[in-house]
Amino acid sequence: MAGTRFAPDRGLSVRMTVTMFLLGLLYVAFMAILIAVGVQAVVVLVIAAGFLLVQYFFSDKIALFAMHGREVSPQEAPELHGIIDRLTAMADMPKPRVAIADSDMPNAFATGRNQKNAVVCVTTGIMRRLDAQELEGVLAHEMSHVAHRDVAVMTIASFLGIVAGLMTRFALYAGLGGRRDSNNGPPIGLIIFLVSALVYAVSFLLTRALSRYRELAADRAGAFLTQRPSALASALVKVSGDIARIPTRDLREAQPFNAFYFTPALSGQSVASLFSTHPSLERRLDQLAKISAALGR
């Protein structure tokens, strides 16, 4: 948050630090167990580290390619650039690159490892459905992700899940067999599979919990920056309602990118909310209503 006028969020900073610390402990324990059972963990670590580096340094390009987005100039999208320019000045931060994805699904996302390498992308669907103030609220939300640096933290946090996922697949491909210990214990492959699956599950839940909180933090920061929480609330209602009318096939194709979206392509209820990347619409609207009342006072 240093160097911007987005409202600081101590809760988000603490949660990002705690999540990274817990994932670090989990990673150390995971590698220790793998080495203890005789796995050559170095190869897996090198492969996973390669994925992390590529994802970290090229996340903006990967996201744009996957979503069929393209960068646009001020001449191509003057209104969109105008909103970004205004928010950039209000937040006192470097202007991110601006992109548009040709998709009827109303959504937006921001990615990039830091403010100088950030890109904010909106779909043609959201530009068509929202008015200027609502779109400004959405873009303020996305730019706050860049200011909070939570996109980079989420990228790093996914590293352990990548390692555990690779090890789980390795164990499955090996048929859960492999050598046994001297006491005729269970197959090494089965041990690897069980430990990797547990580590993946824990890291998955930790990153999803952080993802939900960072969305609430982005709503707060964006609303305080624009001083129009009602515009952001209106955008949330419109986008959430219209996404329900998008063909399921299109939503499933976009689901892997839920963590980066303004609203999720698909969301769950009750117990399934533990696995959601976003808090419920009701919770987000309730928070914005409280901000609106506070600003009114």
Which token pair is 62? 């990967």
Q: What is the pLDDT of residues 224-237, one digit of tens each?
A: 999 999 999 999 99
Among residues of the chain, what percentage have pLDDT more than 90?
34
Give pLDDT, residue 186.
60
* Residue 68 known to bind ligand: no
Question: What pLDDT, on the 0 to 100 scale, is given for residue 40?
Answer: 63
Lowest mean pLDDT among 18-32, 62-76, 108-122: 18-32
Q: What is the DSSP code (8-state) at residue 77?
A: -
State which H helix or E strand residue 119 sits in.
strand 119-123
pLDDT of residue 286: 95
Query: Which tens digit of pLDDT belongs to each residue from 170-212?
Result: 666 655 555 555 555 566 667 777 777 788 788 888 888 898 9
DSSP state of 175: T
Cα–Cα distance, 52 to 23 (Å, whole number): 15
pLDDT of residue 185: 56
254 near 264, Cβ under 8 Å? no
Neighbouring CB atoms inside 10 A of 231's CB total 23
Mean pLDDT is highest, among 62-66, 150-154, 289-293, for 289-293
Q: Is 145 annotated as a binding residue?
A: yes
pLDDT at position 282, please?
Answer: 92
- How far is residue 220 from each of residues 103, 133, 217, 286, measured CA to CA in Å? 27, 16, 5, 11
Q: In what order do the strands lie in the sheet with 97-101?
A: 69-71, 97-101, 119-123, 108-111
Residue 43, SS3 per DSSP: helix
pLDDT in tens, 64-109: 888 889 999 999 999 999 999 999 999 999 999 999 999 888 889 9
Query: In this model, does residue 270 exceed pLDDT 60?
Result: no
Q: What is the mean pLDDT of the chain?
A: 80
Q: Are 273 and 172 in contact (CB under 8 A)?
A: no
What per-residue confidence (pLDDT) applies to 251?
Answer: 47
> Which residues are CB-neighbours of 149 under 8 A, at least 6 positions away?
1, 114
Q: Among this protein's residues, is 142 annotated catalytic?
A: yes
153-175 residues labelled b (16+ CB within 10 A) or e (exposed): bbbbbbbbbbbbbbbbebbeeee
Rg (CA), the chain: 21
| Residue entry with tokens 């063909």 | 247
Please tell me which residue in 76, 142, 253, 282 is annotated as part of the active site: 142
For residue 192, which of 47, 24, 23, 35 has the smallest C-alpha distance? 35
* SS3 state of residue 187: coil
In whole angstroms, what is the distance from residue 288 CA to residue 235 CA? 12
* Residue 81 marked as a ligand binder: no
